[in-house]
Amino acid sequence: MKRRNFLKACLIGGTTIAMGKTNKGWASGSFEGYPESMGVLVDTTRCIGCRSCEAACNKEQNLPEPDTSFDDKSVFEEPRRPTAKAYTVVNQYEKQKPGGPVYRKVQCNHCNEPACLTSCFVNAYTKTKEGAVIYNSKVCVGCRNCMIACPFNVPGYDYESVTNPVIKKCILCYDTRLKVGKPPACVEICPQEALTFGHRADLIKVAHERIRSNPDRYVDHVYGEKEVGGTSWLYLSGTEFDKIGFDPSLSNDPIISNVKDFLGMVPMVLSIWPALFSGIHLLSKHDAGSEGHDTESKEEDR
């Protein structure tokens, strides 16, 4: 009686979880992104490393004062990454090359299928219909799993804070600008028009158009068009992408597809194991009763 109830509970639990899962978004193999998604096209060949985008972001997002001023060029000596205090950083590459240094702005790429989102166990991240990946710091537990998962090493963590250490990253200026149809602060301020804001679908066309009309200037690739399922921030480059800090080994599949093998196994275990092991239990009981093979245990029982 008890056992049967237990089995039933397991089966029901198993199937609900299984179905919940399928709805929730790991049936995402051929997901094409959000039709209204906005994005930013970064043309690294136009960027001069003035860092005014960093300054604009700092102001827009009310971030703490930087250690050195935004005019300080010495920061280019070491590559930097976004942190809790700087949602975006500009790095310098190819310093020794005759073509001069190449600059590249780094921030959250606002993936179509964000690994940070799918790995977060309290659902702190949201992908808005405008394409921004925002987060709810009120529920963040601080497990830093999203930092493990993000293929671009973006989320920064507020390790210094004692009372409210949470994840911080670029939110595409969602609250203050994107929501009301304005371009992000960093895009607006860029003196070189290295950053172009628009519908993601249009930006992809613009990017390919630039490559087509200027094949000598650009590598024939739009980084972010396909990588990890596509991102809202897209990059054009004049040198190979791996030379300016991009990871060329990322697959075009979203990160979550790596996890699917395991997630698919979960409902199987939930539904098969109870029956399997209860069955074995019944069998072994039967064996012990007859003159079964279980000699060792009989010996002990004597």
Partner 1 sequence: MKNMIKHGLAVVDSPYDESGRKRTVVEKLLLGLTPSQYLLQAFRNPFNWILAAIFAIGIPILLGRFVFGLAWATSGSNDYPWGLFLGFGLFAMVPLSSSGFQLGTACEIFGRHDLEPIERLALLNGLLGYFFAVVYLLADLGQPWRLPYPMVVSFGPAAVLFLVAWHVATYLSVQVAEVSTAFFEWIGFPAGKRGVRRITLGLTVSGIILSTLHQGALGALFTYAPGKVHPLWYSSSFQWLHFFVSSLPGGLCMVITVSTIASKFMGWRADRRFREKLDRCTVSLAKGACMGIATYITIKLIGIAHDNKWSYLDSGWGQWFMLEIILGFMLPLVLMTYGVHTRKVNIVRLGAFATVFGVVLNRVNTAIITFNWKLPEREIPPWREVVISLTIFAIYIVVYRFILYRLPILYKWRQQEEEVPVTETVTVPAAGRREASPVAVASYSNMTKLD
Binding site for ligand SF4 (CB under 6 A): 47-53, 56-57, 60-61, 87-88, 90, 103, 105, 107-111, 114-116, 133, 150, 152, 154-155, 169-173, 184-186, 189-190, 192, 194-195
Partner from ligand SF4, partner 1, none contacting 107, C-beta within 5 to 8 A by type: ligand SF4
Query: In a 10 Å sphere around its CB, with 0-12 CB exposed, 13-18 middle and 19+ buried, how is residue 226 labelled?
Result: middle
Q: From the CB of 296, what's the least distance to partner 1, in Å?
A: 5
* 18 touching partner 1, by CB under 8 A: no
Query: In a 10 Å sphere around its CB, with 0-12 CB exposed, 13-18 middle and 19+ buried, how is residue 155 labelled?
Result: buried
CB closer to partner 1 out of 107 and 119: 119
Find where tokens 């072994």 sit.
Answer: 284
* 209 touching partner 1, by CB under 8 A: no
Partner from ligand SF4, partner 1, none contacting 294, C-beta within 5 to 8 A by type: partner 1
* 63 touching partner 1, by CB under 8 A: no
* 246 touching partner 1, by CB under 8 A: no
Report 188-207 residues binding partner 1 (CB under 8 A): none
Give the DSSP letter of residue 179. G
* 77 touching partner 1, by CB under 8 A: no
Structure tokens at 219: 């590598």
CB closer to partner 1 out of 202 and 240: 240
CB closer to ligand SF4 out of 16 and 123: 123
Taking the alpha carbons of 254, 256, 260, 262 in that order, is the dihedral positive or negative? positive
CB closer to ligand SF4 out of 232 and 271: 232
Q: How far apart are CA 169 and CA 133, in angstroms?
A: 9
For residue 182, give the H/E element and its range.
none
Report 259-288 residues binding partner 1 (CB under 8 A): 259, 261-263, 265-266, 269-270, 273-274, 277-278, 280-281, 284-285, 287-288
Partner from partner 1, ligand SF4, none contacting 71, C-beta within 5 to 8 A by type: none
Report 130-159 residues binding partner 1 (CB under 8 A): 136, 139-145, 147-149, 151, 153, 155-159
Q: Helix (H) and strand (E) counts for the chain?
A: 8, 9
Q: From the CB of 85, what's the least distance to ligand SF4, in Å?
A: 12
Q: How far apart are CA 94 and CA 243, in angstroms?
A: 7
The strand pairing partners of 41, in sequence order, are: 196, 234
DSSP alpha helix (H) spans, 32-167:
52-60, 115-119, 145-149
102, 94 in Cβ contact below 8 A?
yes
